[in-house]
């Protein structure tokens, strides 16, 4: 994975996804959108998985 790809994925994982999840959660709860909690749970799981994969990638990169 190139540095540019890593940096973009890191930005998306650390900034964009949590912000969008929070935004959706607030709007969904306020407007009583069905299955808001389920969508938030899935979004958090995806964000956590991506963060873990990027962390492992970073550790492996530093070992080289």
What secondary structure, in 3-state letters, does 30-64 show?
HCCCCCHHHHHHHHHHHHHHHHHHHHHHHHHHHHC
Average pLDDT (33-61) is 94
**pTM (2 decimals)?**
0.84
Residue 63's pLDDT is 83
Q: Quick check: 60 pLDDT over 90?
A: no
Predicted confidence (pLDDT) per residue in 17-40, tens digit = 999 999 999 999 999 999 999 999
Cβ proximity of 46 and 17 under 8 Å = yes
Predicted confidence (pLDDT) per residue in 1-14, tens digit = 678 888 999 999 99
């Amino acid at each position: 994975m190139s540095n540019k790809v890593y940096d973009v994925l890191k930005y998306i994982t650390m900034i964009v996804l949590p912000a969008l999840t929070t935004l959706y959660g607030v709007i969904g709860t306020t407007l009583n959108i069905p299955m808001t909690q389920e969508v938030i749970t899935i979004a958090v799981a995806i964000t956590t998985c991506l963060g873990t994969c990027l962390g492992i990638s970073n550790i492996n990169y530093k070992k080289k």
